[in-house]
Structure 1
Amino acid sequence: MTAILWLRRDLRRADHPALLAARDAADGDLVVAFVLDPALWAGAGPVRRAWLAATLEATNAEYDDALTLLWGDPRTEIPALAERVGATSVHVTRETTPFGRRRDAAVAHTLASSGVDWVETGTPYAVGPGLVRNGSGTAYKVFTPFAKAWRAHGWPDPAPRPSSLPLREARGDAEATAAVREALAAPDLPEMPGAGEQAAAVRWQGFLDDALTAYTGDRDLPGIDGTSRMSPYLKLGVVHPRTLLADLTSRRGEGKETYATELAWREFYADVLWHNPSSAWHDLRDALNGMAYDEPADAIEAWQTGTTGYPVVDAGMRQLLGQGWMHNRVRMITASFLTKDLHVWWPVGARHFLDHLIDGDVASNNHGWQWVAGTGTDASPYFRVFNPVTQGEKFDPDGDYVRQWVPELAHLPGKAVHQPWEHPDGYAHGYPKRIVDHAEERREALRRLDGVKGS
């Protein structure tokens, strides 16, 4: 019998329960496949396409060049593949996003009509979304009690990596191969990390050895390499969070607990999306119904291009364009600037981030935006408006991060980079003037909040 393993957000060979289930079901051949959906591919943006393409190449190497790449709608491509190879079962890691769940239901229905088994094994998370419940059996709405219950629930040990597999030779589509090559050759791509399981393992081990001990304090400082940078690998399932959590158990100190809590945030947001599918692109809470939002095209463009005149905001937006990644603290600062200083509804920023972030994950990204905007779970109150100057001075006290990404300010010493308007040579090298006055826009944000409360 032939079995198919359909990869999606699980582009790895290690700690892969669905792979083991597919191997055990394959008395004959195991076909490992990935489908490039033209609709998703076209909407992903060049950075995300290139990161996926690089990861697919690395995954193909992990599977001994036996990855079958298909081009088309998975709802038709997977059933057609099953018929072509005579598969009796299709194996997947359980999907958790609203779109993925709808797609999988359609594929499973079509396969069932042909007598092909649909088998879901495992989840992209340590604890599958929907499994952590409170005492009354309902979902958690606040992070802290969720995290406590999540830890108490626990998770299995990592699954073993199979040493050998009965892999069938890859027979993919020319369109899919061409799309991957074109994505990797796209012009003006940012500098990206190494792709695939081996690159992820090297990065993770380096973090454990060099940065975990100081992680609690260093993770908020964008000017140093104090974070794990594992989010791009987690996004595509190159590494499973269960693997990371297992590796943390042998470590000592506060850093490992802080890092586990950051993973819990990722799992919490996936749980929120599971229970509230519409929150992907709509306010989770209706506390700000009636809020007046603006769509200032020129100001939004300045935000997107890192030319707002506020150094830490501009540094973050330029890092996004330059690396396809942005430090988490700066994500909050830039999101606050768009939503509170420019009064733009959060989905505008969330879509821009997803276009450029190689770790762009709908659950984490969009609920993070809602946290800042004041519409989400555990939301930062709307009246909490990040001051881009004081945030820069606090988290980039020596100005190293700003000088790295805003070369027009490289001549300014120390924290002077955060207020170039106060330095006689602040604009000597062409740095743009501020597009808004933060103090005035803060007052405007609070005025709009009062209007919502009044209504």
Structure 2
Amino acid sequence: MTMEAPAVLWFRRDLRLADHAALLTAAGHSKHLLALYVLDERLLQPAGTPRTAFLLDSLRALDAALGGRLLVRRGDPVREVVAAAREIGASAVHVTADLGPYGRRRDEAVAKALAEHRIEWVATGSPYAVTPGRVTKPDGSPYRVFTPFRRAWDRHGWPRPADTSASTVDWVPPRKSGGIPESPALGGMRQPAAGEAAALEVWQEFLDDGIAHYAEERDRPDHEGTTRMSAYLRWGNIHPRTMLADLAGDSSEGAQALRGELCWREFHADVLWHRPETARENYDRRFDRMRHDTGAPAREAFELWCAGRTGFPIVDAGMRQLLAEGWMHNRVRMVVASFLVKDLHLPWWWGARHFMRHLVDGDLASNQLNWQWVAGSGTDAAPYFRIFNPTTQGQKFDPQGDYVRRYVPELRGVAGKAVHVLKERPEGYPVPMVEHAEERQVALQRYGSITGNSPQ
């Protein structure tokens, strides 16, 4: 490899130019880089409209930051990456490592194809502060429980942000680009601005106004107490290392809580790296014996849940927020997930698939393993007997009912906390589809049958 030969920087889940380790490595090997993104049908098909729109908007922002020099191709990455590299006589293709199940298989195939043309494959860093697989127990085995993982993760630490920008290298103008497709119509859905500049702006606003109250506000869906950074992290508009650097030295409860949330993201990525089958299968294989409801009634119940027509206000508000914004408050995600698997007795993967279809921030590791946490089948899972009561959850975390009224217009005439315990049903709003106390007992019995514990 010589500095005179150009190279390719293949963007994937790292759609930014600041704090980009692969860009820094590439700049040390070559003076001239071709910026490439490949629209991969294997990833686009299951993505859903909100996530696809955010991706395409992120690509437009990246292209603008590069002065219109982002080459966008569509098709099989093996074919398109090799072709782009050969067209400019590249000596290497640089990437941020993708450690998801599909990404690992795809990258092995691309690296093998490049090697046939004597083009080097160079992977640097990952979308995480600590690359999955790096934090292990003293005996080398992976952690199954979050708390000891968190302690080991803190001890391991992470590098300082990479000093990179658009001016780090000279960018090779693409000879011919397929262009960035128009974003799909969102039908009035509200969605945040995409791209690196937007991510940094939202992050700075949170540091200025939100972090002081984050620890106590993050569980309140009626307040703007979360970071709203999940979509930016999903697409790499910002690296978690940047956020952790900004939190360094801050020992406040808010900063500690946020570091913990970032670590949960890394823990789930680590679990998926060690156990890639858990994207589709139970981590705890005992749960393969779990009895779920089936047939037409089960599908009908699922459709009511998807539409936010369960008759439980906090559940319906969450499901409608998902449809309206492509996002849902984290506390409410747990409530609606518990309702699906423990009140309706439906498989967690039904809900996980629906979330991945609609979430702007849909991330395979976080989504699937959070669903398994709620279902009790995952690593470090919630105790099976922890079954959220949707009414008391609403009363506790949306005490005045503002969140429910925001997303369930049928209930806007019901004042205050009474919205969670409706003495009368406003016209058009359904009665509860199940009796929670009864379904809780059914869930306990079914869980008990596979765990050997008696219902509580």
Greater CA drift, 99-108 or 73-82: 73-82
Verify the 8 A CA contact 1:350 1:369 in the aligned structure 2.
yes
Q: Which amino acid aligns with 2:270?
A: D
Verify the 8 A CA contact 1:33 1:67 in the aligned structure 2.
yes
1:407 counterpart = 2:402: no
Report the Cα distance in structure 1 between the residues aligned to 2:88 and 2:189, rounded to whole angstroms.
39
Q: Which amino acid aligns with 2:377?
A: T
Q: TM (normalized to structure 1)?
A: 0.95
Q: Which amino acid aligns with 1:271?
A: D
Residue 321 of structure 2 is matched in structure 1 by 319
Taking the TM superposition and a 5 Å limit, the aligned residue runs for 1:215-254 are: 215-254=214-253
Paired residue for 2:333, among 331, 334, 338?
331
Residue 39 of structure 2 is matched in structure 1 by 36
Verify the 8 A CA contact 2:356 2:362 in the aligned structure 1.
yes
Alignment length (residue pairs): 445
Specify whether residues 290 and 252 from structure 1 end up closer, same or farther in structure 2 by C-alpha distance, changes over 3 A only: closer
Taking the TM superposition and a 5 Å limit, the aligned residue runs for 1:277-288 are: 277-288=276-287
Secondary structure at 1:246 match in 2: helix
Segments of structure 2 that go 5 or more residues without pairing to the other structure are none
Identical-pair percentage: 51
Residue 16 of structure 1 is matched in structure 2 by 20
1:201 counterpart = 2:205: no
Q: Which amino acid aligns with 2:240?
A: P
Residue 349 of structure 1 is matched in structure 2 by 351
Report the Cα distance in structure 2 between the residues aligned to 1:294 and 1:325, rounded to whole angstroms.
27
Secondary structure at 1:118 match in 2: strand
Report the Cα distance in structure 2 between the residues aligned to 1:250 and 1:388, rounded to whole angstroms.
38
1:165 counterpart = 2:165: no
Report the Cα distance in structure 2 between the residues aligned to 1:172 and 1:104, rounded to whole angstroms.
24
Specify whether residues 3 and 345 from structure 1 end up closer, same or farther in structure 2 by C-alpha distance, changes over 3 A only: same
Secondary structure at 1:229 match in 2: coil
Paired residue for 1:137, among 135, 140, 146?
140
Q: Which amino acid aligns with 1:275?
A: H
Secondary structure at 1:381 match in 2: coil
Q: CA deviation at 1:428?
A: 2.5
Specify whether residues 454 and 220 from structure 1 end up closer, same or farther in structure 2 by C-alpha distance, changes over 3 A only: closer
Report the Cα distance in structure 2 between the residues aligned to 1:144 and 1:375, rounded to whole angstroms.
18
Q: Which amino acid aligns with 2:88?
A: V
Verify the 8 A CA contact 2:52 2:184 in the aligned structure 1.
no
Verify the 8 A CA contact 1:4 1:32 in the aligned structure 2.
yes
Residue 442 of structure 2 is matched in structure 1 by 444
Secondary structure at 1:433 match in 2: coil
Q: CA deviation at 1:388?
A: 0.3
Paired residue for 2:377, among 367, 375, 378?
375
Report the Cα distance in structure 2 between the residues aligned to 1:187 and 1:239, rounded to whole angstroms.
24
Segments of structure 1 that go 5 or more residues without pairing to the other structure are none
Q: CA deviation at 1:206?
A: 0.8
Verify the 8 A CA contact 1:7 1:33 in the aligned structure 2.
yes
Secondary structure at 1:193 match in 2: coil
Residue 124 of structure 1 is matched in structure 2 by 127
Q: CA deviation at 1:23?
A: 2.3
Specify whether residues 189 and 283 from structure 1 end up closer, same or farther in structure 2 by C-alpha distance, changes over 3 A only: farther
Verify the 8 A CA contact 1:23 1:166 in the aligned structure 2.
no
Verify the 8 A CA contact 1:12 1:59 in the aligned structure 2.
yes
Q: Which amino acid aligns with 1:11?
A: L
Q: Which amino acid aligns with 1:245?
A: L
Q: CA deviation at 1:24?
A: 2.6
Secondary structure at 2:91 match in 1: strand
Verify the 8 A CA contact 2:306 2:319 in the aligned structure 1.
yes
Report the Cα distance in structure 2 between the residues aligned to 1:317 and 1:187, rounded to whole angstroms.
17
Paired residue for 1:48, among 51, 67, 79?
51
Q: CA deviation at 1:173?
A: 4.3
Aligned residues: CA RMSD: 1.4
Verify the 8 A CA contact 1:157 1:246 in the aligned structure 2.
yes
Report the Cα distance in structure 2 between the residues aligned to 1:393 and 1:169, rounded to whole angstroms.
57
Q: Deviations over 1:195-234 (max 9, x none)?
A: 1111111111111111101111100000000010100000
Report the Cα distance in structure 2 between the residues aligned to 1:26 and 1:70, rounded to whole angstroms.
22
